[in-house]
Amino acid sequence: MADLFSDEWMKGFMEEWNKEPELSDALAQINFNTVIAYGMDGDDQPLGMMVIENGKAISAGSYDGSTELNWDLRASPDSWNKWLKKGLGMMGLGMAYTSRKLKFNIGDYMAMIKDPRMASPFVKSFTVMGRVG
């Protein structure tokens, strides 16, 4: 498997994202557009990023610092690996957020979690991450 959030890994994540109707199709229904970055807690900048247009991932790769982000998600390598193996349900997401195991360096967690049209696909994205080979 490619290193987590590397250019190769992010491209694989983009493929899996677009194959999952509960993620890409659900977000397409609300015309969801965003730039999401992922990385390790404590690092200066995220490792990988993905651009979403109308719910579909249109590009992904290493983060080079030049793209404005809407979301920047950070966690420890151990937490990421746990969520990749087991996924993350709504209760787990709440626990991860309140315990600061999942940090939103950029992005409004409270606004996202209050909107089921966004919250359910967000939770599903962790399951999809686990499919990256």
What does the pLDDT look like over 14-38, one tens digit per residue?
A: 999 999 999 999 999 999 999 999 9
Yes or no: say if 12 and 2 are a contact pair by the CB < 8 Å rule: yes
Q: Nearest Cα to 59, choosing from 35, 29, 32, 84?
A: 35
> Residue ranges per domain, the chain?
7-129
What does the pLDDT look like over 106-117, one tens digit per residue?
A: 999 998 889 889
Which helix (DSSP H) or strand (DSSP E) does residue 104 occupy? strand 103-106
pTM: 0.94
Residue 15: how many other CB atoms lie within 10 Å: 14
Which whole number is the average pLDDT over 1-20? 93
What does the pLDDT look like over 39-71, one tens digit per residue?
A: 999 999 999 999 999 999 999 999 999 999 999
* CATH topology assigned to domain 7-129: Nonspecific Lipid-transfer Protein; Chain A (3.30.1050)
